[in-house]
Chains A and B, each alone.
Chain A
C-alpha cells in the first residue's frame, strides 16, 4: 500500500480567464491573430512545405524571367558543339583563384565511330560574366532587351547542362520549358476548381431538382472516355493553329472533364453542413445562399479543396509530360519538359548522351514540391487539426 498523496492547495486567487485573457502573452497573440495568420503559423511548422514553397517560388520566378535567366535563346544553335556533355564549372586556374569560369571545349568527330568527342582546352579560362549584355531577346515577346543573368565570354561557350543533337543549350531549354510546364496546368486546375465549386455548391445547398440535374450531367461527363477524345481532337484541330493554342484548348477540355469529381465532394460535404445549427442560424438572420456557402460552409472543408487542388497541379504537369510523350500534347517548336523528354526518347540518349534525360529532374522536383506543399496547406487549413501551442 502506498501512502496517500499529499493534499496541496494553491493559495493564489483564482482567475477564471487565466488561459484566455490578455494575461497570457501566447493566448493574446492567438486570440488577436487573423485566420490568415493562424494559417501561416500552422504552415510554418511544416518544414517540407516551407521548403517546397521556396523551391516553387524560385521555379516560378525563373519561369517568369526565363529570357533573362537563360544564357541562350530557345532555338539558338551552336553547330560546332553538337551533343556536347555538360561543361564543368571551375574556380581555380593554375593555382590562382579566378572565380567561376569554364574552359573552352574543342570538339572532334571520330570518323570511325561517328562519336563527337570534346576536350577542355586548359590554357585559357573563360570567366563567366554576370548581369551582362548577351544574345538579344524580346522579353515576353514584347520588350527588346539583351541583359542576361549569366553569359559566356564573347566567342566562348557556356553549356552547363550540355547540348542536344542540334547544338542547343539544355539549360536554356529547361528554363524556357519551365514556363510552359509550370503554368499551363494552372489554367486547367483553376477552371475546374471554379466549375466544381459553383456546380457542387449549388447542388449541395439547393438539393432537389438542381441536385438531380447536376448529378446527371456529372455522370455523363465522368463516363466519357478521355484518350479517344484527345485523339479525335488532335486529328480534328487544324494544323495551322498555334500548337500552344491547341494544347491550351486541350487543357481546357481536360478541365471541363475534370470538375465532376471535386463537385461531388463539395456537394456531399455541403449536404451534411447545411443541416448544422450554424447554417440554420445564418438563414434565420437572412443571409443569402451565396453568403452562406462562401462564408459559412466552404471554409469548413477548405482543407479538402486545397489538398485536391495542389494534387491536381502536379497531375496536370505529369499529364502534359505524358501527352507530349504520346505526341498528343505540345509539339516543337513549343518547348516543355515533356517535349524535351520526348526528344530524349531513344536508346542513344541513355547510352551515349545521358544529359538529355535531365528534364526528368525538374519534373520530379516540382511534382514532389507541389505534393509536400499540398500536404502542408491541408494541415494548415484543417480547422480540426491541433492548434498551435
Chain B
C-alpha cells in the first residue's frame, strides 16, 4: 500500500500527457462535427471534451485522479444499452423554480439506490454490510470526491452525526424517524476514514429504503463547506459577518438554509449528483453542469454522465405540453398526461421525437379517500361504516370511466398493488369494485339511509342530505372529468357529490383539522412493492394520509398527538406495520404485506377507480439509451433516476440538429 501513491502519481502524469493529446484530437473532431462513433470509441479513456481544456490547463486533475479508485462500473451491455459519446445539453421543462429539486431525483446518486428489479444496491457506498438487519457497515470508495474536488470521507458522516443531527441547536427536532427503532437512536462508530457503522439493538428495515428514497435520508454532509457556517468550527466574527450578509437570524438559520441538498438551490453546496446546479436562483432557466468527480463509469472506464449539461426551463404547467410539441424538450414526462397524447403525437415527426408510454407505478390514478377521522360526528359514523364505503365503490362504473377518459387503455381496479407484481392477487383489484348499483342501494338502505329528499338524495338520520363535499388539490388534468362521471354514478344511488377545488396546503390543513369529509388524490405511491419495502402506506402511519390523518398523527408522534385507531381493522393494520419493522426474513415480510393488502381491499379504505394509466414520456430521437418502456414512479424509482439518466447520451449525427433550437436565450 505504501508504495503506490508515488507510482500512481507518475503514472498519472504520463497518462495526463496522453490525455491532453487525446483531448486535442477529440476537440478537433468535435469542432468539425464529424466525430464518428468508432472514432469516439477509440478515444475511450479520453476526457469529456467540455473538460479537456480545463484539464489541459491544469485547472482540473485528469479523469483518473478525479475518479475513486474503485468507481461504480455500469455494465451497459447487461442493461441492453450501448456505450455513449460525451456532450450535449439535455433540455427539460418544469413548472416552478422550486423544481430544481427534480435534478436530485433524476440524478439519483444515493449511498444505496433502488434498481429496476426492486432491490437496493450500493451506489455512492462501495458496499454496505448488513448483519441481522440491525448493524449496517458502510464502506466508502477510496478517492471519492465532492463536486468541488474535496475528499468524501467518514468525516462527512461524523459531521452529520455529531454536529448536525446531534447538535443541541441544529438537531433540535431530534433524529429523523427512520433512524429510530422503538424510539431509540443508533450507535454510530467511525471505524476508519472509509468505514462507518450504524447499529441498533433491533432490526431497522427502514434504514436502507430511506437512504435510497427519492427524497433521501442523507446521513452525510459536505463538512468542509458547512464548517464555515457552524459555530463550533467557524471564527465567531467571521460567522457573524456571514450571517449578517445573508440576512439570516442566526448561524443556525444560515446553516439550515445552505444545507439543503434536496432543495438544490445553493450552487456552492458541494454535491455527489451527476449534474450540479450552476445557476444562482431565482432564474427561469437553470443549468446543471456535469460533476467532474462523479463516481460512476461505463465498462470502458469512461466517466459518466455522458451528457454535459441539463438545462431546465421553467414554464407554466399548462404550457408544458405546447412547449413539448414545439420541440423544446429532449426528455419530458412530468406535466404530460394521457389527454395530451394525441396532441403531442401529432408533432412527433416534425419535432423529431418519440412518444413512449411507460407504466405508472401508482396503485391508482384516481382514488377517493373517505376521512375516517373527520370531526363531524354524523359523517364520522357514516364513513366508518364499511357498508357505506363498499356501496360507494359498487355504485361507480369504473369501466365507463376507463372508456370515456382513458380510451379503454387503463384498468378498472381497486387501489392496490399493480397486476403482475409480486404481491398481486386478482381478487385484491376486483373485490367490491364491480359495478352493481342495486347492491349499493341495498347496502345503503340497510344502513338506515333509506329515506330520500325531493331531489332523490338520501337523508342522514339527522335529516341532512348525504351530500359529500369532495375536496381536491386538482393536480391531474383529467380528474374533473373522472369526478363528473363519479358524480353521475353516485347520484343514481342517491348520494350527492360536490367537488371543491382547494389549494394543496389548504387541503392538508383542513385534513389535519378534521374538516375534510372526503378527498381525492392518486392511489398508492408504491404500486409495485417488494416485501422489503415498508408497507406504511397501508396502515395509519403518517398524518399526511388522507383517509385517517388523525390516526396517522398518533402513530407519527408515538402516541403523543392525535388519537389511536378505534376501529379493530385499523388497529390491526398498525400492529402489522409495527410487526413488519421487527421482521427481517422476506417470507415473513411478504406474509404481513398480504394480510395488510387483504384488509385494505376488504375495508375499502381508499376507493381506487382506475389503475395502469400510462405515463406519457417524450424522448428526442437523438437521445439514446432511454428505455423503450419502464416503470415510472416517484418512490421508489425517482422517476427517471432508477433508469440511470447518466447513461443517456445524444447520438453524434443528430447532435447538431438536436442542439440547434438551443440558440435562443
- Asked if A348 and B484 sit within 8 Å, CB to CB, the answer is no
Q: Which A residues touch B467, using CB under 8 A? A: 240
Render B472-512 as a binary contact track against A, CB cut-off 8 A, 1 for contact. 00000100110011011000000000101100000000000
- Asked if A333 and B404 sit within 8 Å, CB to CB, the answer is no
**Chain-B contact segment, one of A107-115, A144-152, A250-258:** A107-115
- With the chains together, A114 CA to B338 CA distance in Å? 9
- Asked if A333 and B484 sit within 8 Å, CB to CB, the answer is yes
Q: B343 contacts which of A77, A333, A347 (Cβ < 8 Å)?
A: A347
Q: A240 contacts which of B338, B345, B469, B501 (Cβ < 8 Å)?
A: B469
- Asked if A352 and B346 sit within 8 Å, CB to CB, the answer is yes
Q: Is the interface of A mostly helix, strand, loop or mixed?
A: loop
Is B403 close to A, CB under 8 A?
Answer: yes
Known contacts A332-B484, A333-B487, A347-B321; is-contact A77 B345 (Cβ 8 Å): no
Known contacts A75-B488, A239-B469; is-contact A348 B407 (Cβ 8 Å): no
- With the chains together, A333 CA to B321 CA distance in Å? 27
Q: B500 contacts which of A109, A113, A239, A347 (Cβ < 8 Å)?
A: A239
- Asked if B404 and A114 sit within 8 Å, CB to CB, the answer is no
Known contacts A166-B481, A333-B484; is-contact A115 B342 (Cβ 8 Å): yes
- Asked if A166 and B484 sit within 8 Å, CB to CB, the answer is yes
- With the chains together, A53 CA to B624 CA distance in Å? 64
Is B339 close to A, CB under 8 A?
Answer: yes
- Asked if A113 and B345 sit within 8 Å, CB to CB, the answer is yes
A48 to chain B, nearest CB (A): 39
Q: Which A residues touch B193, using CB under 8 A? A: none
Render B97-129 as a binary contact track against A, CB cut-off 8 A, 1 for contact. 000000000000000000000000000000000
Q: Which B residues touch A333, using CB under 8 A? A: 484, 487
A333 to chain B, nearest CB (A): 7
- Asked if A351 and B346 sit within 8 Å, CB to CB, the answer is yes
Interface-central residue, A75, A112, A239, by most chain B CB under 10 Å: A239
- Known contacts A165-B481, A347-B343, A352-B342; 11 further A-B pairs (Cβ under 8 A): A79-B403, A113-B342, A113-B346, A166-B481, A167-B404, A239-B469, A240-B467, A240-B469, A347-B325, A348-B343, A352-B343
Is B340 close to A, CB under 8 A?
Answer: yes
Known contacts A82-B404, A333-B487; is-contact A240 B480 (Cβ 8 Å): no
Q: Which A residues touch B340, using CB under 8 A? A: 347-348
Is B318 close to A, CB under 8 A?
Answer: yes
Is B424 close to A, CB under 8 A?
Answer: no
Which residues between 327 and 366 of chain B lie within 8 Å of chain A, taking CB atoms? 338-343, 345-346
Which 6 residue pairs spanning A and B have beta carbons closest together?
Answer: A239-B500, A347-B322, A115-B342, A114-B341, A113-B345, A239-B469
- Asked if B484 and A114 sit within 8 Å, CB to CB, the answer is no
Which residues between 194 and 226 of chain A lie within 8 Å of chain B, taking CB atoms? none
- With the chains together, A243 CA to B379 CA distance in Å? 22
Q: Is the interface of B mostly helix, strand, loop or mixed?
A: helix
A116 to chain B, nearest CB (A): 8
Is A346 close to B, CB under 8 A?
Answer: yes
Interface-central residue, A75, A167, A327, A348, by most chain B CB under 10 Å: A348
- With the chains together, A79 CA to B322 CA distance in Å? 27
- Asked if B339 and A348 sit within 8 Å, CB to CB, the answer is yes
Render B375-408 as a binary contact track against A, CB cut-off 8 A, 1 for contact. 0000000000000000000000000100111011
B138 to chain A, nearest CB (A): 47
- With the chains together, A255 CA to B487 CA distance in Å? 33
- With the chains together, A227 CA to B340 CA distance in Å? 32
- With the chains together, A114 CA to B341 CA distance in Å? 7
A-B contact pairs, 7 of them (CB 8 A): A113-B341, A114-B407, A115-B342, A165-B404, A333-B484, A347-B321, A348-B342
- Asked if A114 and B342 sit within 8 Å, CB to CB, the answer is yes
Which residues between 291 and 322 of chain A lie within 8 Å of chain B, taking CB atoms? none
Which residues between 365 and 381 of chain A lie within 8 Å of chain B, taking CB atoms? none
The closest CB in chain A to the CB of B320 belongs to A347
Interface-central residue, A77, A112, A113, by most chain B CB under 10 Å: A113
Q: Which A residues touch B487, using CB under 8 A? A: 333
Q: Which A residues touch B325, using CB under 8 A? A: 347, 351
Q: Which A residues touch B477, using CB under 8 A? A: 346
Q: Which B residues touch A112, using CB under 8 A? A: 345
The closest CB in chain A to the CB of B477 belongs to A346
The closest CB in chain B to the CB of A238 belongs to B469
Render A26-43 as a binary contact track against B, CB cut-off 8 A, 1 for contact. 000000000000000000
A147 to chain B, nearest CB (A): 24
- With the chains together, A40 CA to B346 CA distance in Å? 56
- With the chains together, A224 CA to B338 CA distance in Å? 43
Which residues between 446 and 472 of chain B lie within 8 Å of chain A, taking CB atoms? 467, 469
- With the chains together, A240 CA to B498 CA distance in Å? 7
B509 to chain A, nearest CB (A): 13
Q: Which B residues touch A109, using CB under 8 A? A: 407-408
Interface-central residue, A79, A115, A346, A347, by most chain B CB under 10 Å: A347
Render A75-86 as a binary contact track against B, CB cut-off 8 A, 1 for contact. 101010010000
Q: Which A residues touch B403, using CB under 8 A? A: 79
Q: Which A residues touch B318, using CB under 8 A? A: 346-347
A139 to chain B, nearest CB (A): 17
Render A327-343 as a binary contact track against B, CB cut-off 8 A, 1 for contact. 10000110000000000
